[in-house]
């Protein structure tokens, strides 16, 4: 199912959506933060999706518990470090971790630039210990508005050489791409790659806007692309990758069932699509689980799965030489 001789990569993985329930409980106890649960067992169903939520915003509420216990910069370092240990446990060879400085800082009024520094240090320490290669993607949390996102952007630019790409995530419908054109122009000027959540809660025009207004060369989720054949043709021709997350798409009610997921349609139309976890702790999954789902539920062939795995390397925000080194390391 997974080719052991090829690199296993996860390109769409939220660091702040991958705080394990046990870590949330530990940090709450350490920081004297009250949670609506009297034990870890009671906390788990509050912080993990049990089946399907009503929509994306209901799904995102599950992430709030994790960031609510980040009372100190050391906590941000710790969850970043633990993300790398988790990547090793899940058998990843390369991971791109994305995070929102504002989202991680807002509950306890932490300095956003310091949060970015703590995350960088934690990921670097974890990468050094595990040997898993990593890169960081900064998120602008669109839900909090353009002004807050500009401050968030400034905190990322303060450490721009340690950030690989810029992303836009959150309430896609009510905070559309045009509100963030200036932000992403600054991000491109900083030398960053661009990926944008689009076509998850909104239609294909949201994907066009992410590409044309914000400069996205990768699209997070992109489910709605199947509604527009010209869009799929454009994305295939220009190698605009789709970061596909089937279990998450079911849990957010973006797709009615996993069986109906558009992953086969993406492949049939020649899109550069790869498999990812999104928020593994919240979804209670790992990347091997997503490959199993793609095979046994969605129905991809072994050849298609191998292509999807190779696509992950091709779409990674790595130099050609780094991609070659990653491939060589598994040969």
**Confidence grade of residue 52 (pLDDT, cut at 50, 70, 90):** confident
**Confidence grade of residue 279 (pLDDT, cut at 50, 70, 90):** very high
Q: What is the pLDDT of residues 242-251, one digit of tens each?
A: 999 999 999 9
Q: How many CB atoms lie within 10 A of CB 11?
A: 28
Q: Is the pLDDT of residue 286 over 90?
A: yes
Residue pair 110/70 in contact (Cβ under 8 Å)? The answer is yes
Distances (CA, A) of 80 to 101, 103, 127, 237, 300: 12, 14, 10, 36, 33
- pLDDT value at residue 56: 66
Tokens (6 digits) for 229? 């054949």
- pLDDT value at residue 54: 67
- pLDDT value at residue 330: 81
- pLDDT value at residue 84: 98
- pLDDT value at residue 112: 98
- pLDDT value at residue 17: 95
Residue environment code for 233-268, b if the CB has 16+ CB neighbours within 10 A, otherwise e: ebbbeeebbbbbbbbbbbbbebbeebeebbbeebbe
148 vs 61, residue with greater confidence = 148
**Residue numbers annotated as active site:** 200
Residue pair 278/233 in contact (Cβ under 8 Å)? The answer is no
- pLDDT value at residue 57: 73
Percent of the chain with pLDDT over 70: 99
Weakest-pLDDT range from 209-218, 307-316, 321-330: 321-330
- pLDDT value at residue 62: 79
In degrees rounded to 5, what are phi and psi of residue 57?
-65, -35
Distances (CA, A) of 323 to 2, 37, 94, 202, 317: 19, 45, 10, 33, 9
How confident is the model over 248-267, as a mean pLDDT? 95
**Confidence grade of residue 75 (pLDDT, cut at 50, 70, 90):** very high
Residue matched to tokens 């992953």: 263
- pLDDT value at residue 238: 98
- pLDDT value at residue 331: 72
Q: Is the pLDDT of residue 328 over 80?
A: yes
- Distance, CA of 191 to CA of 169 (rounded, Å): 20
- pLDDT value at residue 116: 98
- pLDDT value at residue 107: 96
- Distance, CA of 133 to CA of 122 (rounded, Å): 13
How confident is the model over 212-234, as a mean pLDDT? 98
Percent of the chain with pLDDT over 90: 92
The correct CATH number of 12-330 out of 3.50.50.100, 2.70.240.10, 1.20.1260.10, 3.20.20.140 is 3.20.20.140
- pLDDT value at residue 174: 96
pTM of the entire structure?
A: 0.96
Q: Is the pLDDT of residue 287 over 70?
A: yes
- pLDDT value at residue 171: 93
């Amino acid at each position: 199912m997974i080719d052991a001789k090829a690199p296993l990569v996860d390109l769409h993985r939220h660091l702040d959506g991958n705080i394990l329930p046990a870590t949330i409980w530990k940090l709450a106890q350490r920081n004297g933060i009250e949670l609506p649960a009297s034990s870890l067992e009671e906390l788990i169903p509050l912080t993990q999706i049990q089946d399907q939520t009503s929509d994306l915003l209901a799904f995102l509420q599950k992430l709030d518990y994790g960031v609510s216990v980040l009372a100190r910069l050391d906590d941000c370092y710790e969850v970043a470090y633990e993300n790398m240990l988790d990547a090793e446990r899940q058998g990843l060879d390369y991971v791109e971790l994305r995070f929102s400085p504002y989202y991680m800082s807002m509950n306890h009024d932490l300095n956003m630039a310091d949060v970015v520094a703590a995350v960088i240090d934690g990921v670097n320490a974890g990468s050094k210990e595990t040997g898993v290669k990593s890169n960081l993607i900064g998120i602008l949390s669109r839900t909090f508005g353009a002004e807050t996102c500009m401050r968030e952007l400034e905190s990322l630019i303060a450490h721009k050489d340690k950030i690989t790409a810029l992303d836009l995530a959150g309430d896609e419908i009510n905070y559309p791409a045009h509100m963030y054109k200036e932000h992403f122009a600054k991000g491109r000027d900083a030398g960053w790659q661009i990926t944008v959540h689009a076509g998850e809660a909104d239609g294909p025009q949201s994907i066009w806007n992410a590409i044309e207004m914000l400069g996205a060369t990768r699209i997070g989720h992109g489910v709605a692309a199947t509604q527009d054949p010209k869009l799929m043709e454009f994305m295939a021709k220009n190698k605009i990758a789709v970061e596909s997350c089937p279990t998450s798409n079911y849990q957010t009610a973006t797709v009615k069932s996993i069986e109906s997921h558009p992953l086969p349609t993406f492949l049939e139309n020649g899109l550069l699509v790869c498999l990812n976890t999104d928020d593994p702790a919240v979804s209670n999954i790992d990347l091997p689980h997503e490959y199993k789902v793609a095979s046994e539920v969605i129905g991809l062939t072994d050849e298609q799965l191998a292509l999807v795995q190779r696509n992950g390397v091709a779409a990674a925000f790595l130099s050609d030489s780094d991609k070659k080194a990653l491939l060589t390391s598994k040969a």
